[in-house]
Amino acid sequence: MQSQPTAVAAAGCTDGSPPLRRSASPGGQIRGRAALRALALVLGLLLGLTGRPGIASADELGDVQALVTKGDLARASDRLDAILAKHPKDARARFLRGVVLTEQKRPADAMKVFTALTEDYPELPEPYNNLAVLHAAQGQLDRARQLLESAIRNHPGFATAHQNLGDIHARMAAEAYERALQFDRSNTAVQARLKLIRELFPANPKLLRLEQHPVAHSTAQPPHVPRSEPR
């Protein structure tokens, strides 16, 4: 999911936006170089190298991921405690903490973790996706839709968010059809549409996909800027 800096500079951003164009004028060349420097800075933040201060190693996080996959959530949580004690700002470790809390049926705590990640790393789509899954499980479909749209704006190629957004739209459509039938039970067209949606999308919140794997660009560290007001 990550692009090499040279490819991005040549072909444009990964979200499909037009490539940077160099102007033939001196002023345009200066602006072009400034834009490239800014792009390089952003890429440096997103593609931060493991082993840097504040960043957990891939091996450490791989071990935690393996424990989560096995369902050994207690040990995974203990390992994350140790990692986050050393690297409290590591986005991947924090993301895995949210996944573990979700699997441990602690949605309120998981929401706090994922919300903090959206504040520290607003460019990352996975925390928005997982927040959407948690809100949908509580019946908050419109909030889930908003979060998934944020994930897609940040990363248009994030397939999981697109799939989940489709499921959310289907569930919202089902609710609208149910309301319509409350006023007109004889409407066979609405009855048929509602039946089809229920067959394709059973009312099961777990059908939404929780992202469990922090992607490579989530190794970035949060920018070192003070916050004026807590959210």
The CATH number covering residue 88 comes to 1.25.40.10
What pLDDT, in 10s, does the model give residues 118-141? 999 999 999 999 999 999 999 999
Taking CB atoms within 8 Å and a gap of at least 24, the contacts of 150-155 are: 150/118, 150/125, 151/125, 151/126, 152/125, 154/122, 154/123, 154/124, 154/125, 154/128, 155/1, 155/14, 155/15, 155/124, 155/125
pLDDT of the residue at 215: 53
pLDDT at 49: 34
74 lies in the same domain as 183:
yes
Give me the phi and psi of 213, to 5 degrees please: -110, 110
Domain that holds residue 63: 58-219
Terminal-residue alpha carbon distance, the chain: 30
Structure tokens belonging to residue 39: 């792009």
pLDDT in tens, the chain (231 residues): 444 443 333 333 434 434 333 334 444 443 444 444 443 333 333 334 333 445 777 888 889 989 999 999 999 999 999 999 999 999 999 999 999 999 999 999 999 999 999 999 999 999 999 999 999 999 999 999 999 999 999 999 999 999 999 999 888 888 888 889 888 888 888 888 888 877 776 665 555 667 776 654 444 444 333 333 444
Closest by Cα among 119, 137, 126 to 98 = 126
pTM above 0.85, yes or no: no
Do 120 and 184 reside in the same domain of the chain?
A: yes
Nearest to 90 by CA among 63, 123, 51, 130: 51
Q: What is the pLDDT of residue 224?
A: 34
Same-domain status, 15 and 107: no
- Assess if residue 215 is contained within a domain: yes
In a domain, 33, yes or no: yes
103 in the same domain as 165 = yes
Are 16 and 8 contacting, i.e. CB atoms less than 8 angstroms apart? no
Residue 35 falls within a domain, yes or no? yes
Q: Hey, what amino acid is at 91?
A: A
Q: Is residue 51 part of a domain?
A: no
Q: Are residues 109 and 30 in the same domain?
A: no
pLDDT digits (tens, 9 = 90+) for 196-231: 877 776 665 555 667 776 654 444 444 333 333 444
Does residue 74 form part of some domain? yes
Number of domains observed in the structure of the chain? 2
| Token pair of 9 as six digits | 């500079």
What was the pLDDT predicted at 42?
Answer: 35
The neighbour count for residue 80, using CB atoms within 10 Å, is 24
pLDDT confidence of residue 227: 36
